[in-house]
Chain A
């Protein structure tokens, strides 16, 4: 039968995200792990979220394979339990946290963030986690803690991509302390309404820094250390001319091999204009006042 006038539902007819997530929140309360949904809050985003299927099948996670599909296909090889995170370096109270304790220690909240890959594609992902600042305050950075160094688990048995001798494993990343303490900077322990991250997305705990290219948001973290000098980063060690320490999303500064002006939002046909600081300029531009972003790429 031909249905004339068939159309997508009007916006007002769609179940509000608050109601939708409210249901999930209820389920999670029932399950014993609660998080505050992003709906309507500071960290809501009006742009449509990327389909979960796409966000979990199109990944860069070399530890689980080199293609975009491989990490999802190899996800079953990686069991992230049990898991501990070491937090130390220039801090007053170094500590070793069991993941389960971390989940209870800090209130979890949902953050819907744009994710912009340096390869000029992007997604919108609802994360669940807590601000990195919460954890850092708990251990008390000293005045010598000017940078934060993050390291991924090194275990070639569980992360078979680490057998590839071309890379200096384990993966490492870093932030300046003001970037690390910024309220947008999240330690994610869940996504799409579940307090659990699929292996290919960086189980069980990963960084999310939404105004920087995706490779800065290191996955499967086992070590967080406060340090005095800028820490070495994996891509910075391998191709320093292409991947700088800051790697802020910036449409005006091209990657040496391709333009960063536009991006393909996964699920969309036409490309979008890339936004300065990935659309978070109001919140983070002040961190870089006085810096030449062409030099500090």
Chain B
């Protein structure tokens, strides 16, 4: 099995988890909120996995193709997170959505994260690497770092002030990964 196919297969983990939970235990009293948060959580987790690939390449160079796939999975979970928020949570109430985007910092930041993910997802093909030239493409994809930290901020601003543990954990992981990634240049 190719590395890339195995990476796609990882998407099944959260999806089966969600289906199993819904089937056996139900999704609780507020299923819409539960699913939206689930998609957001997994977007962040796939972002972590994506950024883990580069440091691992030193020992496992064969993993390289998984990076793009994992990045795309992060994008797809972010996309479904956004679509559920727009279509199910807000039920396409555009005026209310617009007010949310302008007024709520965590929504503003969430949307910025998504808009930054978009060009990375679009240019994930070999065709785009050629079209942009490898160096420019690589520079563009450095956007993943601000995306990672802004996603943590989006998470932290959404929750009550005492429950910062999880977003701080992700921030810590991203800091370590950034250190591994950039320390040689410094």
A residues adjacent to B (C-beta < 8 A): 51, 53-55, 57-58, 66, 68-69, 121, 164, 166-167, 238-239, 254, 257-259, 261-262, 264, 266-267, 269-271
**Between A and B, how many residue pairs show CB distances below 8 Å?**
45
Contact of B29 among A166, A258, A266, A269 (CB under 8 A): A266
- Name A's interface SS: loop
Q: Can you list 26 A-B contacts with CB-CB less than 8 angstroms, sorted by A residue number?
A: A54-B29, A55-B29, A57-B29, A58-B29, A66-B162, A68-B29, A68-B30, A69-B28, A121-B33, A164-B162, A166-B162, A167-B162, A238-B161, A239-B161, A254-B103, A257-B104, A257-B157, A258-B100, A259-B96, A259-B99, A259-B100, A261-B96, A266-B29, A266-B30, A269-B32, A271-B91
Q: A66-B163, A166-B162, A259-B99 are in contact. Are A264 and B104 (CB under 8 A)?
A: no
CA distance A264 to B96 in the complex (A): 15
B residues adjacent to A (C-beta < 8 A): 28-30, 32-33, 88, 91, 96, 99-100, 103-106, 157, 161-163
Question: Which of B100, B104, B105 has the most chain A CB within a 10 Å cutoff?
Answer: B104
Closest residue on chain A to residue B88 by CB atoms: A269
CA distance A18 to B78 in the complex (A): 49
Closest residue on chain A to residue B91 by CB atoms: A270
Give chain A residues whose Cβ lies under 8 Å from the Cβ of B104: 257-258
Shortest Cβ distance from residue B50 to the other chain A in the assembled complex, whole angstroms: 28
Give chain A residues whose Cβ lies under 8 Å from the Cβ of B28: 57-58, 68-69
CA distance A30 to B103 in the complex (A): 56
A267 touches B162 (CB 8 A): no
Give chain B residues whose Cβ lies under 8 Å from the Cβ of A271: 91
Q: A68-B29, A68-B30 are in contact. Are A257 and B99 (CB under 8 A)?
A: no
CA distance A166 to B164 in the complex (A): 11
CA distance A266 to B29 in the complex (A): 6
Closest residue on chain B to residue A255 by CB atoms: B104
